[in-house]
Structures are given as structure tokens and as C-alpha cells.
Amino acid sequence: MQFHPTTLFIHGVVETRFLISEAVRGEGAILENVNGERFMPRYHLLKELAPRDIVSRSILEEMRRTNSDHVYLNLAPIGADRIKHRFPKIYEECLKYKIDITKDKIPVTPAAHYFMGGVKIDTSGRTNIAGLYAAGEVSSAGIHGANRLASNSLLDGLVFGYRAAVDSISYTRSTEIDKAISEYHLKRSKQMPPRLKYEEIQNMKEKLKTIMWDKVGIIRKGSDLKHALSEIARMSKRINYMPDNKFELEIKNMLSVSLLISQAALARKESRGAHFRTDFPMQDDIHWRRHQVFKRRNLFNL
């Protein structure tokens, strides 16, 4: 999971997920803590131009140091006219919250941004399940390193999406697959109500989000990851059946993905790109310069 360092932060507005482009820092904007102090020079020689994983961790550390839930992005060095010319969308979006970025600092915080892995595919977008294709953020095409480059999302979605579409046109489904799909749709047409109450499902989602952010987020360590796995396993036992409705299916899938991420993070005893562990802060090319694949069935063998 990659984290974007500068997401617009507005108190009391949970749905705000607007990303303040890293190009803003490239143009000269500086990061300041809630006390108005520039802090990136303390963390990296490149200051605000450090890699996004380092900037994200630095912001998080500064938030903890100053006991705050955000920092500020100060665009004053860019100049008002250039701000409006280069970043009109950011200017307009911030104005919705009465923030004039030609005069005011932008409150920002890191946020979960992009998956750099997922369903394994070949160069045509095919998975190991006949007839199932994947492209974009959900897929693992092997084009990302430990820290995704911004433009790689275009390659991820457009190139592999096109290849998957072209390949799927020539694909002929077998009788067995046709039958399985028909049976699935017949079952879905008779969707059963959730066994869990809607409030329970929502509470599970919120708890899972908190666990993943607090224990499996920007800065990780073994004890936190083990705690996360224990909590996720306990929650999973409440829905250890195949649901017949989208509400339970969604939380079940969220739990599965969270387990995979947490297990992989615990197993990788090093730091590399977006994956940073305080108990293993150095990169280890001898033992860990490779990919890892986990299957659902062995996740609880800790």
C-alpha cells in the first residue's frame, strides 16, 4: 500500500480525500508543522522533494511530535499568479472550504493511496482462473517497485486494460464456466438478507479501518502487525461462511485483503519503499529482494 503525503485535511469532514499534488512541492511549496516551523530539512537532504514514502513518514512523525492531526503546506514561495495558473483545480477545491491557497496554508495529512500489488496477471491481464481478467490497481502486473511512480497508474490501467479487453474478445468460455456463471446469477437473484445486522457490519468496517491505519499503516512494527492479525482473525470468525448478499461479501473481502497485507508485512523483516518497519529499518537485498505470494488458507499459520 502506497501512501500519499499531502491529502487535504478538513476538521469534521470525513469524506475529504482530495489529493494535493506533489507537483505543488516541486514548484516550491514548503511543509510546516502547526507551530509554523519548516520541518523537512530535519528528515532528509532533499527536504520537500524527498521520495513520497519519506515525506509521508516525516509528516506523521511531525504530527506525533507536535501532538497534532495535520501539518500545513505553504504555497507562498510559488506566488499567487503562478498558483492560479499551475494549480487551478487545487485552488478551486480549497476555496470550497474557504481556503485561499494564494494567501492561506493548506492543512494536509498522509492518506492511503494506491495498491502496488494484488491479483497476479500475465501481460494480457489474464489471471490463473480461466475467463477472469484484471487490470489497474487491483492487479499485480510487475510494473511497480517498492514505491510506485505517479505515472505508472496510467500504464497499470490503460495499457493492461486495453490488453485484457483485446484478449478477452477472442476468449471462448467453456460449458463448465457458462454453467457456473448461470448458477451464480440464479443464486444472486435469490439474495438472502444478511445474518449480521447492518450496524454490526458498519462497526466492523470502521474497526477494521482503524486497525489497518494504526497498526499496518505508514510506520509498522512486528508487535503491531501481530496485534492487527489477531484482531482481524477474531473478526473473520464472525463471518466464516459464504454470504449471499453484498453487505457481508464486502466486509468479508475487506478482511481477506487486510489479512494478506498484514501477513505479508509481518513476514517481510526489512524496510523497502512504502513498507517501513521500525524493528527492521534497513533494506535487506540478500534475503528480501523478491516478491511474496500468500494464499488465504495459510494466513493463520503465524
Contact 164, 134 (CB under 8 A): yes
**End-to-end alpha-carbon separation of the chain, Å?**
21
All three cell numbers of 22: 506533489
Under 8 Å between Cβ of 246 and 237:
no
Specify whether the CB–CB gap between 25 and 49 falls below 8 A. yes
What is the grid cell recorded at 271? 524496510
Q: Which residues, 6+ apart, have CB-to-CB distance to 58 below 8 Å?
A: 31, 39, 40, 42, 43, 44, 50
52 is catalytic: yes
d(CA 90, CA 83) in angstroms, rounded, equals 9
Residue tagged active-site, from 52, 126, 148, 272: 52
- Cα(123)–Cα(171) distance, rounded to whole angstroms? 15
- Could you give the CA distance from residue 33 to residue 44 in angstroms, rounded to a whole number? 16
For residue 113, the one-letter residue type is H
Q: Which residues are catalytic?
A: 52
